[in-house]
Amino acid sequence: MRSYYTSDQVRAAEAALIAALPHGVPMQRAAYGLATVVAAELRERTGGVVGRGVTLLVGSGDNGGDALWAGSMLRRRGVAVSAVLLDPARAHVEGLAALRSAGGRIVDTIGDPDLVVDGIVGISGRGPLRPAAADLVAAVHVPIIAVDLPSGVDPDTGAVDGPAVTAAVTVTFGVRKPVHVLAAPRCGRIELVPIGLRLGDAELSAFDAADVGASWPVPGPADDKYTQGVVGICAGSATYPGAAVLCTGAAVAATSGMVRYAGTGASDVLAHTPEVVAAQSVRESGRVQAWVIGPGVGTDDTAYDTLTDVLATDLPVLVDADGLTMLAADPDLARGRTAPTLLTPHAGEFERLTGSPPGADRVDAVRALAQDWEVTVLLKGRATVIAAPDSTVFVNEAGGSWAATAGAGDVLAGVIGALLAAGIEPAAAAAMGSKAHALAANLAAVADSSCGAPISAGPLSAQIRAAIRVLREQSKAVISQPM
């Protein structure tokens, strides 16, 4: 499990560390780690360190101090280091003296370096880059290594509302922050440098591949098709028969139990997955341990009655797509439930449910809906945010946007529904399913080309089993590592 700590949490932990150590030690630790990463990046990109050039973009806070101290260490290793001071009168005094003592230069322009270090603002910064900094960043044509976070990107929400840095590498100190997962494309590769911070529980967490693989339900010695979890799928219609095929097919691939289908698309479903047990309606479908309803079912009276029947059960229910549209018109169907309910909207559906878009702070928006309705909410996106009614929040960064294709949400609903039926609680099922779904999309994208190519939902669904296999292999690799 990876944890992400807010700027307030980090500042409190840094204050405690600074009070406990001799003056300057925490910054020296951070700077040494930063210099080590920059040197390694120089070797990787240019083949050496001595004689290479690095330009520091230096702001007025400790972030700039980290950059200056790291620059002094790089200079002593033979790197030609220059620094552009955004606010010379407020530059970190000791860091600036160290850089000058080591032979670093203070300049007014970027020059022609091999790498640029972004030390403009840190976790206390808010809003876009100011014009002078924005002009400097716009002039950079080499990779940027960000100090703690890319300047101009909000540390807690990952939001960008103007000029901001896009880094090839971000070196973060002590712990990861929300920006590193919510704005991953801006951060590039994350390098974590331990500096001795001590923190409690994080407000935002993410499942590692090994976590998901270790928890994925597989048949045990005493299991049969019923004990592993039976999921019911209400999806598809005459207008959208493919939704039924994609949703049930994903559920079949996700676990080894049984999938029951209730709806008008039985012939299409059985043509693709004959192992599915099909019925015309929920009431005729037989016993299940969880329901998925919504993909492609429409919003007519029949669909509404089916949604009402499903939500009237005492079973976990995942509501997606058309089901969310109907819930937006009648929220009490979900709000009054005592059994677990999981809503899986994209941004547009979220706005229909709440009356406003998620906004810049997606985590806060999802948490608020989950608490208000007493449901679990999964907000889709490259960084998928999942919140439970108790304020537990998970995030899954997909590593790409290959799943941004029609029908991919139907596949995701089927995978998560199967996990719900296996007895996994909704927030964890949503996080696990999102991880497998994103990996399947990435596998599908590179199946015929190492550089990736656009995919559709069919190839994505076809890679669900392969994705689960990779996740389980990751968990076994962690278990087998020597202590």
Judge whether 380 is annotated as a binding position.
Answer: yes
| Mean pLDDT (whole number) for 83-111 | 96
pLDDT tens by residue, 327-355 = 999 999 999 899 999 999 999 999 999 99
Judge whether 180 is annotated as a binding position.
Answer: no
| Mean pLDDT (whole number) for 197-219 | 95
Judge whether 125 is annotated as a binding position.
Answer: yes
Judge whether 346 is annotated as a binding position.
Answer: yes
Residues of the chain with CATH 3.40.50.10260: 2-201
Predicted local distance difference test score (pLDDT) of residue 161: 95
| Percent of the chain surpassing pLDDT 90 | 93
Instruction: Transcribe 273-296 into DSSP letters.
Output: -TTSEEESSGGGS---SEEEE-TT
Judge whether 118 is annotated as a binding position.
Answer: yes
Q: What is the mean pLDDT of the chain?
A: 95
Judge whether 122 is annotated as a binding position.
Answer: yes
pLDDT tens by residue, 27-57 = 999 999 999 999 999 999 999 999 999 999 9
> Number of C-alpha atoms within 13 angstroms, CB side, residue 423?
8
Judge whether 453 is annotated as a binding position.
Answer: no
Q: How far apart are the two ends of the chain, measured CA to CA in Å?
A: 18
Residues of the chain with CATH 3.40.1190.20: 209-480
Judge whether 161 is annotated as a binding position.
Answer: no
Residue 283 gets which letter from DSSP?
A: G
Q: Which pLDDT band holds residue 124 (cuts at 50, 70, 90)?
A: confident
pLDDT tens by residue, 138-177 = 999 999 999 999 999 999 999 999 999 999 999 999 999 9
d(CA 151, CA 166): 8
Q: Give the start-end residues of each E strand in 296-350.
A: 317-319, 341-343
Tell me the one-letter amino acid at 8.
D
pLDDT tens by residue, 378-426 = 999 999 999 999 999 999 999 999 999 999 999 999 999 999 999 999 9
Quote the pTM value: 0.94
Predicted local distance difference test score (pLDDT) of residue 256: 81
d(CA 82, CA 107): 6
Q: Which two tokens stand for residue 354?
A: 């709440």
d(CA 217, CA 233): 19
Nearest CA among 280, 150, 276, 207 for reference residue 2: 207
Predicted local distance difference test score (pLDDT) of residue 303: 97
d(CA 87, CA 80): 22
Query: Which of these CATH numbers, 3.40.50.2300, 3.40.1190.20, 2.60.40.1930, 3.40.50.300, describes 209-480?
Result: 3.40.1190.20
Judge whether 330 is annotated as a binding position.
Answer: no
Judge whether 126 is annotated as a binding position.
Answer: yes
Q: Which pLDDT band holds residue 483 (cuts at 50, 70, 90)?
A: very low
Judge whether 124 is annotated as a binding position.
Answer: yes
Judge whether 62 is annotated as a binding position.
Answer: yes
Whether residue 456 is predicted with pLDDT greater than 80 in this model: the reply is: yes
Backbone angles phi, psi at 447, to 5 degrees: -60, -35
Judge whether 331 is annotated as a binding position.
Answer: no
| Mean pLDDT (whole number) for 284-293 | 95
Judge whether 237 is annotated as a binding position.
Answer: no
CATH number of 2-201: 3.40.50.10260
Predicted local distance difference test score (pLDDT) of residue 478: 58
Judge whether 123 is annotated as a binding position.
Answer: yes
| Percent of the chain surpassing pLDDT 70 | 99
Whether residue 66 is predicted with pLDDT greater than 70 in this model: the reply is: yes
Nearest CA among 437, 482, 431, 473 for reference residue 213: 473
The DSSP element (H or E) to which 267 belongs, if any, is helix 266-272
Map residue 396 onto helix, strand or coil: strand
The DSSP element (H or E) to which 106 belongs, if any, is strand 105-107
